[in-house]
Structure 1
Amino acid sequence: MKSKHFIFRELEERIQKRLFLGKAIIVLGPRQSGKTTLIKKVVEDSGRSFLLLNADEPDVRELLDNPTSTRLRTIIGRHEIFCVDEAQRVPNIGLTLKLITDQIPETQVIATGSSSLELHSSINEPLTGRKYEFTLFPLSFAELAQDHGLLEERRYLEHRLVFGSYPEVVTNPDQAQELIRLLAGSYLYKDLLMMEGLKKPVLLEKIVKALALQLGSEVAFHEIGQLTGADSHTVERYVDLLEKAFVLFRLPAFSRNVRNEIKKGKKIYFLDNGIRNALIGNFLPLTSRTDAGALWENYMVSERRKLLCNKGVDVSGYFWRTTQQQEIDYIEERADRLLAVEFKWNPGRKASFPKTFTNAYPEVSTMAVTPADYDLFLTQPDS
């Protein structure tokens, strides 16, 4: 698996179908998740002429900051597709993209961004009703299984749980530890610390490490604050920034019918197992770890999220717990069904679903996911 060939991304077909429908295409996602490679593949396969500019370059940022439509026509020239990589670096990029979409409708605009914070704030209002938005995650289990076969990808399970699924890590497994360390640094220090108002990198590092050590557990911001010397509002703000920079995501508590259900709880998962392990500096094999179950749960929840997002399936994810400590790892709610899932790293451990839950929600389907049978859960969105 050391070849450098292009691994097919599930978003490719969805993006191709949105070309030249009169709207800008926005692709968000963490750095190094493959956004540039994906966009190049899409535009090259389209057979149309294209111009790709990288807004990490200062002269590109200057060129695209508040230009007139006449100036934009000169910049784009005869190209049919106009791509801006790392578009969040351009001030007022939303207005620029809106101008192209409205005034030069024959040109397809594609923009990528490595953090949703700046890009969302600068594109959402100007581009209301004028954009298709996609999120490109690191490689998914489904994409990797499709690329080199289910059996081989299953053999890499322990490697994925420790080192994650970033494209560079996947294609260079022998250098995985060095590469994921570099990526973790890029995550936190290149993107987050460039954000206005984030003045305390030491505090950010403390908070993200504290969250990494509570993987799979219910998180209380005031407790994280006590551990790190910050107030709960500061912790929540930093968590919000980490979520918008594609480092982690929140899973809220599910609550509908039962009186003693926890209603305002939250669990925090990392988008990629490798990033989490790099943050705490632990790359030990699973047989030498005490957190194998938590890594398994993080991998399953994050991979399921990738699958559903890549397929464009609209669902809501939760966990469930009562004040008596009855719990279910993962709840999935969609219009016509409710699914409750328990993740068991040890296939010999039996999963049980509290009667309190099944009696309150008789329409629920239940399933246990173990390393023996997890591939169905990560390849079939309706499973």
Structure 2
Amino acid sequence: MILRHAAPRLLRLLQGFPIVTVTGPRQSGKTTLVRQLLPDKPYVSLESPSAREFARSRPEEFLRQYPHGAVIDEAQHAPELFSEMQSVVDAAGRMGLFVLTGSQNLSLLSRVTQSLAGRTALVELMPLSVAELRGAGLLPQDYAGLLTKGFFPAIYARDLDPHEWLQAYLVTYAERDARQLAAVQDLGAFQRFLRLVAARTGQLLNMQALAGDVGISDKTVKHWLSILETCYLIHYVRPHFANFGKRLVKMPKLYMTDVGLAAALVGIQNEGQMQAHPLRGPLFETLVVNEFLKNRCNAGLRDPLYFWRDNIGTEVDLVIERGQEIAAVEIKSGPTVASDAFRNLHKWRKYATERGAFSAIYPGLVYGGSQRFTREEVDVLPWLAL
């Protein structure tokens, strides 16, 4: 069994909130985690048409079945439950009564926040992390295989061909969910859109260029991207707008939430193909950025990740602010660190120092090798230690 780092926080929240909402991509392990932690709590999935219809048409009667609470899976299918649940938990006055899970981010959260404000805590469960795989003894020493395999738990729990499973995931979940939410009529265009989005992971988002390549309007691209974000298939890292006295770019960088899914979409089927593929660098960057995202989700941190890039193209891949402290991280896929790898970090540190608003400044670099060391006042960290 792979121990999930979100588990202690989930259990802690159940002591202080009557409802805990667990969201994340499909197949990220939400149901498995909740049922392992709460084996005695009744479980119902609203993916079942009969359960969904009962919950939507008679929410009061549906909840009356569970006087001691329950795990309600894919709760976004019956938003009618939420207002009724408010009355139930207020009357009961007990913590940890209901656990809701859902694989649609914005649609679920908007309804939860409207009806259950102050009554529910949120846990976002991403696919497995490097640290979780390392703890289970499942982490390979070469990242190329991991880029191909991705991080969905099912791939590690069963004897499956990763590429075949990821292709099935695309058809069964990604295309189905996104197409239903977006009311897509042209399946061919949408499939082409997904592949082109995957090919842009780790890059600045240019909606006009993407629209032109797919052959659809800018408005459609914006709508389809919002659906992919809702389904946890992509996320964004926004530019850091600290006033360093330089003109900074405003476009966000786009990342696929699972690097294996990105690899499958661009046609990479095995480790050998990954080693020679031109997207290996951006996919490695996606892996590292996603690890920072997973660690923050597991800890319940809401402050976002940023990147920094000036108007002449000097870029630092991640910028992280915590109060008066700031850290910057460069990402290099090579097994060794070249002497010029720190150039952008030094330039960023100069700007950050001149700004004078930070009590501490931490530059770091994550690379594709295996040793940890310090060079030129930069903490150099191997990806294996994330």
The TM-score with structure 1 as length reference comes to: 0.88
Q: Structure 2: how far apart are the matches of 1:133 and 1:61?
A: 22
1:300 corresponds to? 288
When residues 52 and 379 of structure 1 are mapped into structure 2, their CA distance, relative to the original with a 3 A threshold, is: farther
2:117 corresponds to? 128
Q: Structure 2: how far apart are the matches of 1:124 and 1:73?
A: 19
Mean CA deviation greater in 261-270 or 310-319: 310-319
Q: Report if aligned partners of 2:319, 2:329 keep a CA contact under 8 Å in 1.
A: yes
1:353 corresponds to? 343
Shift of 1:358: 2.2
Q: Structure 1: how far apart are the matches of 2:110 and 2:184?
A: 16
Matched, 1:204 2:190: yes
Shift of 1:172: 3.7
Which structure 2 residue ranges, 5 or more long, are not aligned?
354-359, 373-380
Matched, 1:276 2:262: yes
2:44 corresponds to? 53
Q: Structure 1: how far apart are the matches of 2:247 and 2:323?
A: 22
Shift of 1:225: 1.2
Matched, 1:335 2:332: no
Mean CA deviation greater in 185-194 or 242-251: 185-194
Q: Report if aligned partners of 1:304, 1:378 keep a CA contact under 8 Å in 2.
A: no
In the TM superposition, 1:358-377 aligns within 5 A as 358-362=349-353, 363-373=360-370
Shift of 1:125: 0.2
Q: Structure 1: how far apart are the matches of 2:301 and 2:263?
A: 29
Shift of 1:66: 5.1
Shift of 1:356: 4.3
2:230 corresponds to? 244
Shift of 1:94: 2.2
In the TM superposition, 1:17-166 aligns within 5 A as 17-44=12-39, 49-65=40-56, 67=58, 69=60, 71-72=61-62, 74-77=64-67, 80-106=68-94, 108-148=97-137, 153-155=139-141, 157-166=143-152
Q: Structure 2: how far apart are the matches of 1:111 and 1:328?
A: 38
In the TM superposition, 1:191-270 aligns within 5 A as 191-195=177-181, 197-270=183-256
Mean CA deviation greater in 327-336 or 127-136: 327-336
Q: Structure 2: how far apart are the matches of 1:298 and 1:103?
A: 46
Q: 1:324 aligns with which of 312, 315, 323?
A: 312
Shift of 1:267: 0.7
When residues 30 and 98 of structure 1 are mapped into structure 2, their CA distance, relative to the original with a 3 A threshold, is: same
Q: Deviations over 1:215-263 (max 9, x none)?
A: 2221211111111122223212211111111101011111222444324
Shift of 1:300: 0.3
**Percent identical:** 23
Q: Report if aligned partners of 2:367, 2:382 keep a CA contact under 8 Å in 1.
A: no
Q: Deviations over 1:311-363 (max 9, x none)?
A: 22343211111221111122112213211111111124341233542222015
Which structure 1 residue ranges, 5 or more long, are not aligned?
1-5
Amino acid of the structure 1 residue aligned with 2:121: Y
2:377 corresponds to? none
Q: Report if aligned partners of 1:100, 1:109 keep a CA contact under 8 Å in 2.
A: no
Shift of 1:154: 4.2
Amino acid of the structure 2 residue aligned with 1:162: T
Q: 1:290 aligns with which of 278, 300, 304?
A: 278
Q: Report if aligned partners of 1:43, 1:81 keep a CA contact under 8 Å in 2.
A: no
When residues 279 and 114 of structure 1 are mapped into structure 2, their CA distance, relative to the original with a 3 A threshold, is: same
SS in 2 for 1:257: coil
Q: Report if aligned partners of 2:316, 2:329 keep a CA contact under 8 Å in 1.
A: yes
Q: Structure 2: how far apart are the matches of 1:290 and 1:87?
A: 41
Q: Structure 1: how far apart are the matches of 2:324 and 2:246?
A: 25
Shift of 1:214: 1.8
Mean CA deviation greater in 279-288 or 161-170: 279-288
Q: Structure 2: how far apart are the matches of 1:99 and 1:72?
A: 13
Shift of 1:379: 8.8
Amino acid of the structure 2 residue aligned with 1:133: L
Shift of 1:179: 0.9
When residues 119 and 73 of structure 1 are mapped into structure 2, their CA distance, relative to the original with a 3 A threshold, is: closer
Shift of 1:191: 1.4
Amino acid of the structure 1 residue aligned with 2:132: E
SS in 2 for 1:281: coil
Q: Structure 1: how far apart are the matches of 2:3 and 2:142?
A: 18
Q: Structure 2: how far apart are the matches of 1:68 and 1:91?
A: 9
